[in-house]
């Protein structure tokens, strides 16, 4: 079995040593390590190079020196695509795409990873739970998540995103908890750690800008279904959800609004880079699933 582990690193000196400890838990697979980094202002680069000097298996280190987009999602997409350029030309059976921040500092459940590497009911598998040491045990990654009639991303509701995000979080937590199956189907999910059958994903890439999506990739009918779904949730206690139409318009690209619990401003052209990767695969009939179990031990 040929396994690659893909990592995108920027200013993660505090968490990276813990992530490397997790990677060593998978040494029985002799994994190929693909690390992409850019413009770090801390000791991330030094920590990476020190670890790679001692790493016994195949490794690739890529410095994206000109990865300077104003959109964080586009910068991450560029880094992940650099990983794919290696993976897709290396005859891998599987590749893991992992985040290198707090989401992966707890020890991984290796038995769970073994189980899914030997199970053939998925093409992409991610996992439930908040794996971090941060407060709360809810589903962490609402930004990459599209499930059931929720076919529009949580940043895409304009100013309504502020209260849509916790509703989506509660919905997926309840759905995972109530599921009688170990996995549930979705359109897109990541949550900081996902495994892919490499050969089935070779034609797909990451995009972090909606304006670069093919025309009509998202249609108004699906977006309206998403709005209706949210409005019907029992926890919904707000007014109308407003969204920018038409997509990718000049107005859309120049507007700025606030989302989440903190003062983070997101351009409407910004979208989680995982969504395009997963939706292209889903449209091609691949099986995108979330396991209801947590990838880390508590």
pLDDT at 151 over 50: yes
pLDDT at 175 over 60: yes
Helix (H, G, I), strand (E, B) or coil at 201: helix
Structure tokens at 210: 């909606």
Give CA–CA dist 16/98, Å, rounded. 12
Q: Give whole-number Cα distances, 81 to 15, 64, 124, 142, in Å.
A: 23, 11, 17, 22
Distance, CA of 178 to chain centre? 23
269-271-277 Cα angle (round to 5): 130
- Tens-digit pLDDT profile for residues 84-128: 999 999 999 999 999 999 999 999 999 999 999 999 999 999 999
Question: What per-residue confidence (pLDDT) applies to 108?
Answer: 96
Helix (H, G, I), strand (E, B) or coil at 130: coil
Give CA–CA dist 257/288, Å, rounded. 30
Q: Between 216 and 283, whose confidence is greater?
A: 283
Comparing 107-121, 186-200, 234-248, which segment has the lowest mean pLDDT?
234-248
Comparing 22-26, 165-169, 206-210, 249-253, which segment has the lowest mean pLDDT?
249-253
> Average pLDDT for residues 73-82, to the nearest whole number?
96
Question: What per-residue confidence (pLDDT) applies to 249?
Answer: 63
> Average pLDDT for residues 249-256, to the nearest whole number?
64
Structure tokens at 23: 């990677």
pTM of the model: 0.94
pLDDT at 267 over 90: no
Token look-up 């979330």 returns: 290
pLDDT at 4 over 60: yes
Q: How confident is the model at residue 206 (pLDDT cuts 50, 70, 90)?
A: very high
HSE-up of 224 (CA within 13 Å, CB side)? 5
pLDDT at 148 over 90: yes
Contacts of 215 (CB under 8 A, 6+ apart): none
Q: Between 26 and 296, whose confidence is greater?
A: 26
Question: What per-residue confidence (pLDDT) applies to 191?
Answer: 94
Q: Give whole-number Cα distances, 262 to 165, 266, 298, in Å.
A: 12, 12, 27
Architecture of the structural domain at 3-294: Alpha-Beta Complex (3.90)
pLDDT at 132 over 60: no
Question: What per-residue confidence (pLDDT) applies to 238?
Answer: 82
pLDDT at 245 over 80: no
Question: What per-residue confidence (pLDDT) applies to 133?
Answer: 47
Q: Give whole-number Cα distances, 205 to 80, 183, 199, 212, 237, in Å.
A: 8, 24, 13, 12, 37
Question: What per-residue confidence (pLDDT) applies to 247?
Answer: 65
What is the domain partition of the chain in residue ranges? 3-294
Contacts of 173 (CB under 8 A, 6+ apart): 138, 139
Give CA–CA dist 263/274, Å, rounded. 23
| DSSP class per residue in 24-78 | HTTGGG--EEEEEE---SSSHHHHHHHHHHH--S-EEEEE-TT---S-HHHHHHH
Among residues of the chain, what percentage have pLDDT more than 90? 70
> Average pLDDT for residues 182-191, to the nearest whole number?
96
Q: What are phi and psi of 26, to 5 degrees?
A: -100, 20
Of the candidates 211, 273, 199, 296, the residue with the CA atom closest to the CA atom of residue 246: 211
């Amino acid at each position: 079995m040929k396994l690659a582990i893909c990592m995108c690193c920027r200013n993660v000196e505090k968490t990276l040593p813990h992530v490397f400890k997790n990677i060593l838990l998978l040494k029985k697979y002799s994994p190929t390590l693909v690390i992409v980094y850019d413009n770090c202002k801390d000791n991330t680069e030094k920590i990476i190079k020190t670890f790679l000097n001692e790493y016994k298996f195949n490794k690739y280190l890529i410095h994206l020196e000109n990865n300077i987009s104003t959109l964080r999602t586009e910068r991450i997409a560029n880094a992940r695509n650099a990983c794919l350029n290696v993976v897709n030309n290396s005859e891998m059976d599987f590749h893991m795409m992992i985040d290198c921040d707090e989401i992966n500092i707890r020890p991984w459940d290796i038995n769970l990873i073994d189980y899914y590497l030997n199970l053939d009911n998925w093409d992409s598998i991610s996992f439930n739970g908040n794996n971090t040491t941060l407060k709360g045990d809810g589903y962490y990654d609402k930004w990459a998540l599209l499930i059931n009639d929720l076919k529009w991303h949580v940043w895409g509701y304009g100013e309504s995103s502020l209260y849509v995000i916790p509703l989506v979080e509660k919905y997926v937590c309840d759905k995972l908890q109530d599921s009688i199956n170990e996995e549930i189907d979705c359109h897109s999910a990541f949550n900081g750690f996902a495994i892919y059958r490499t050969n089935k994903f070779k034609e797909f890439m990451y995009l972090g800008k909606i304006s670069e999506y093919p025309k009509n990739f998202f249609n108004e009918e699906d977006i309206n279904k998403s709005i209706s779904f949210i409005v019907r949730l029992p926890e919904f206690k707000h007014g109308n959800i407003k969204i920018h139409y038409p997509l990718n318009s000049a107005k859309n690209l120049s507007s700025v609004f606030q989302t989440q619990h903190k003062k983070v401003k997101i351009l409407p052209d910004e979208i989680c880079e995982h969504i395009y990767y997963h939706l292209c695969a889903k449209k091609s009939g691949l099986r995108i699933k979330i396991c209801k179990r947590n990838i880390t031990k508590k």
